[in-house]
Amino acid sequence: MEVLLDRTEYLTLDNIAQSAGVSKRSVQNHLDNIDDWILKNGLIHTLLIRKRGQGVMINSDAMDRLKIQRLLSSKSFSVDADDNKRRLDIIKKLLILEEETTIKSLSEQFYISRGTATSDMEWVKEWLLSYKIELFITQRKGIVTRGTEISYRNAIAGYFDSYKSAETGETIVINKHGRLQENSYKSLTKIYPKDNVDKVKRIIESAEKNFGFFLSEDYYTSLLTHIVICISRLISGNTVPPEFNPPEDEEFPGFVIETTEHIVKRLETTFNIKLPEMEKTYICIHLVGFNALSTEHSSTSEIPKEVRQLALELIKSVDTTIGTNFVSDKILFFGLCLHLKSQVFRLQRDIYFRKASNFQLSENNIDLYQAIAGSSDLYNDICRVRPDEEEILNATCYFLLSLRRSSRHPKALLISNSAIIERMELLEYIEKSLPSVDIVDCCTTYQLKFQTVDEYDFFISMETIDSASEAAEISKKLVIDLSTVDSDHYTEVILDHVSKT
């Protein structure tokens, strides 16, 4: 698909095989399944054209091309769901269980042909490369992996999210296990002891309570996953080679160091282990980028100068490209600064937490996405990082919220602790069911205390609002609590509340 998307002319099977680095037979097998893949993913404006004597080509509009790129870059989708699960099980063997394997043993274990096993390994190789992990064959051990410690932990976190996506295919997930979505919790406890996961959850939440901060769901899951992996390795006696240690010259704010020391002390006492300095450094790296640890709430004085410059230049570039006036939106600038402070730090250190998502931009917003993508060199010019497609989409979401805030219709605020893209998915999911409801902004429960509540006519909350001060601020407004409501009943619950007022 990537080869076909890059070309506008017909390509022969030989052309595609050479460009993709696979056999001609593999190309033929994949082409035979592409029509089904296009149908399954709702690509209604995409067509695979075959012409005798000339070859094949993809005919697709801009919106479908964007969706295809997102599906391919996620590395969590394949032509067939069963293939997807099998390939992820192979990743589990190589990455988490660290088992030796061969094409022959994979063929026998999964009851597939050697050709299919070879095709699976090509897919696995590409998936691992997206996390900077190499796949190679040795004479004694067979197929093995090689990468840095950060690469392995990024990939393991990506595996959990990819497996969840392959298993359910759900966009909106309601059931939660504390801060974690139920599927995230299940995927973690399939690999690691449930008791260990629960203990780590309590330790992180204890740190939040003691130091007065809050991690949104995506960052919480990322930190939890890292610590659970770390604990598992230490308990089993595994050590990390010295060359995989993080940089020794890292400097962290005092608040981050204090928070890390609290977490480390609790971990060592709870699991009767000793965490080496490198593990403490990794926890600091995970914490320092979190927006929740920012002490500034009304100014950007504590945000690095280059991050503020990037936010401003990005906004100016979008305004110049599509003729908008985003530069006048101070909420956009502040929100983008907080987002970039986290993302730039993590991208500079190769730490990221990729999320498989089905969120799609509407055709009306494709120009906005393309304007931000066209300005992506600013990331490298100012902050020396290269944004991936997911980061471009994240940034686009902040601009979309700015457009919503300019709406003159009755305004609602969505309260959710999920990641920005998942909040946008939820926002559009509700609006699709209830066109009369106009949700113009979204925030976490932690950010709620900094919202000007008078600007909204009512609130839709996916979380239980525990704080008395938070509840007092919005007590005079209509608050629709969906924290215990199944998604099938969103419409009737919202309509019922709104009709009564």
Q: What is the pLDDT of residues 349-386, one digit of tens each?
A: 777 666 656 667 777 788 898 899 889 899 999 999 88
What's the whole-number mean pLDDT along residues 249-270?
87
Is 348 inside any structural domain?
yes
Domain end position, chosen among 231, 266, 293: 293
Report the sign of the C-alpha dihedral through residues 419, 282, 294, 373, in that order.
negative
| Residue linked to tokens 């609602």 | 412
Neighbours of 307 (CB within 10 A): 22
Q: In angstroms, rounded to a whole number, what is the distance separating the alpha carbons of residues 464 and 455?
A: 21
Q: What is the pLDDT of residues 319-328, one digit of tens each?
A: 999 999 999 9
pTM above 0.95, yes or no: no
Q: In angstroms, rounded to a whole number, what is the distance separating the alpha carbons of residues 355 and 76?
A: 10
The domain that holds 354 is classified in CATH as 1.10.1790
The pLDDT score that the predictor gives to residue 326 is: 94
**Same-domain check for residues 188 and 132:** no
**Same-domain check for residues 230 and 250:** yes
Q: What is the pLDDT of residues 442-485, one digit of tens each?
A: 888 877 877 777 888 889 998 887 654 455 567 677 889 888 88
The pLDDT score that the predictor gives to residue 250 is: 63
Is 68 inside any structural domain?
no
Domain end position, chosen among 293, 309, 326: 293
**Same-domain check for residues 289 and 326:** no
**Same-domain check for residues 161 and 140:** no
How many percent of the chain have pLDDT more than 70? 80
The domain that holds 435 is classified in CATH as 3.40.50.2300
Q: In angstroms, rounded to a whole number, what is the distance separating the alpha carbons of residues 17 and 5?
A: 14
Angle at which helices 149-168 and 81-91 cross, to 10° = 150
**Same-domain check for residues 335 and 391:** yes
**Same-domain check for residues 163 and 113:** no
Whether the per-residue pLDDT at 297 is higher than 60: the answer is no
Is 494 inside any structural domain?
yes
The domain that holds 12 is classified in CATH as 1.10.10.10
> What is the pLDDT confidence band of residue 289, given thresholds at 50, 70 and 90?
low
The pLDDT score that the predictor gives to residue 295 is: 47
Segments forming the whole domain that contains residue 443: 407-501
Helices (H), 214-276: 217-235, 254-271
What's the whole-number mean pLDDT along residues 154-165?
75
**Same-domain check for residues 372 and 383:** yes
Is 67 inside any structural domain?
no
- State the total domains in the chain: 5
What's the whole-number mean pLDDT along residues 259-281?
91
The pLDDT score that the predictor gives to residue 268 is: 95
Is 56 inside any structural domain?
yes
| Residue linked to tokens 């190309």 | 27
The domain that holds 208 is classified in CATH as 1.10.1790.10
**Same-domain check for residues 299 and 367:** yes
Q: What separation, in Å, do the N-terminal and C-terminal C-alpha atoms of the chain show?
A: 52
Q: In angstroms, rounded to a whole number, what is the distance separating the alpha carbons of residues 456 and 449?
A: 14
How many percent of the chain have pLDDT more than 90? 16
Q: What is the pLDDT of residues 193-206, one digit of tens each?
A: 999 999 999 999 99
**Same-domain check for residues 237 and 196:** yes
Domain end position, chosen among 263, 293, 323: 293
What's the whole-number mean pLDDT along residues 26-30?
78
Q: What is the pLDDT of residues 376-433, one digit of tens each?
A: 899 999 999 888 777 888 899 999 999 888 766 678 899 988 888 888 888 888 887 7
Is 268 inside any structural domain?
yes
**Same-domain check for residues 195 and 261:** yes
Segment among 162-166, 179-183, 332-336 with least mean pLDDT: 162-166
